[in-house]
């Protein structure tokens, strides 16, 4: 099976997150350029960024829209949380309070 380029992200974590979101909605994905950062200086920075690839037969625009929808759905479902130390409201993706550094308590 052939693969085609979908998008690139500035960090491996972001690229893998995109691939994980796609896999969670039934779209196969691969992350490439995992270790190309060592070539920085020899090639343009953007070319060294990790890339997300999808099977050749998939529509790129449709897949990007599905990726955006999956990310938004995840964001909408996860609740904000209140820091038990200082009371600050924190966005759901953070595991520690940005203000005082206290870790998020397990639910």
Distance CA 100, CA 107 (A): 20
pLDDT per position as a tens digit, 26-84:
999 999 988 866 656 677 777 888 999 999 999 999 999 999 998 887 767 778 889 99
Q: What's the sign of the alpha-carbon dihedral 46, 50, 54, 60? A: negative
Cα(64)–Cα(7) distance, integer angstroms: 8
**Distance from C-alpha of 24 to C-alpha of 33, rounded to nearest angstrom:** 22
Stated pTM of the model: 0.65
């Amino acid at each position: 099976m052939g693969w085609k380029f979908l998008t690139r992200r500035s960090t491996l974590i972001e690229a893998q997150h995109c691939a994980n979101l796609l896999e969670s909605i039934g779209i196969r994905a691969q992350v490439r350029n995992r270790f190309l950062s060592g070539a920085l200086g020899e090639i343009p920075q953007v070319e060294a960024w990790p890339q997300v690839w999808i099977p050749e037969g998939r529509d790129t625009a449709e897949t990007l829209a599905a990726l955006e929808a999956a990310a938004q759905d995840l964001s909408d479902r996860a609740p904000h949380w209140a820091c038990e130390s200082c009371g600050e409201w924190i966005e759901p993706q953070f595991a520690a309070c940005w203000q005082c550094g206290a870790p998020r308590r397990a639910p």
